Amino acid sequence: MQGRNISDIIENYLKSILSDNNQIEIKRSQIADRFDVVPSQINYVIKTRFTTQEGYIVESKRGGGGYIRIEKVNLLDNTDFLDTLIASIGDRLSDSKAFNIIQSLYEDKVMTEKEANIVLATIDKRTLNFGDKYLEEKVRAHIMIGVLNRLRYDLKNGK
């Protein structure tokens, strides 16, 4: 396990459970105890590694009977999730978040490898190097929203 940090280990553990089920419900304290970390470490992993951009829906309920529910969404079966994904992009989109979106679309077989690579080349920070990071992220968001809207249209119309 050399070279891997605890966040990677927790992420891989949760994803291994998700590989058998599309949805899991966990108790933050139980996972924290399992890995001998503070519960906020579990929050950090979930907040940064199980995002909408990566194709996950996360719900939580606080209190004694509280839980965290993580669901891996298959985009081919859930075009409404594309609306959520589009809304999460906003006005600007970083290179890393854009990569996560494309990777999720590829993993869910919404895009072929070739299509994913073409979009990645289009939104790459070297391609959008205007010397203005704000403008780069704004253009990337517009391109990504356009791609997602087209995919949503195609999926809803069975293409």
> Average pLDDT of 138-143?
96
Who has greater pLDDT, 65 or 130? 130
The whole-angstrom distance between residue 34's C-alpha and the CA centroid of its chain comes to 25
For 63-69, what is the mean pLDDT?
77
pLDDT at 141: 96
Task: Give 8-29 pLDDT, tens digit per residue.
Answer: 999 999 999 888 888 899 988 8
Beta partners for residue 146, in sequence order? none
Fold category of 6-72 in CATH: Phenylalanyl-tRNA Synthetase; Chain B, domain 1 (3.30.56)
Give tens-digit pLDDT for 31-53: 999 999 998 899 899 998 998 87
pLDDT of residue 119: 96
Query: Is the pTM of the predicted complex or chain greater than 0.85?
Result: no
Which residue in this structure is represented by tokens 């553990």? 13
Residue 31's alpha-carbon distances to 22, 28, 91, 132, in angstroms, are: 18, 5, 35, 42
Cα gap 23→21, rounded to integer Å = 5
Task: Indicate where the chain has its CATH 1.10.1200 domain(s).
Answer: 79-156
- CA–CA separation, 10 vs 41, rounded Å? 9
CATH 3.30.56.130 intervals, the chain: 6-72
SS3 108: coil
Sorting pLDDT into bands at 50, 70 and 90, what band is 3? low
Whether the pLDDT of residue 154 is over 70: the answer is: yes
Please report the pLDDT score of residue 1 as a whole number: 42
Third-level CATH fold of 79-156? 1.10.1200
Region of poorest pLDDT, from 17-31, 77-91, 125-139: 77-91
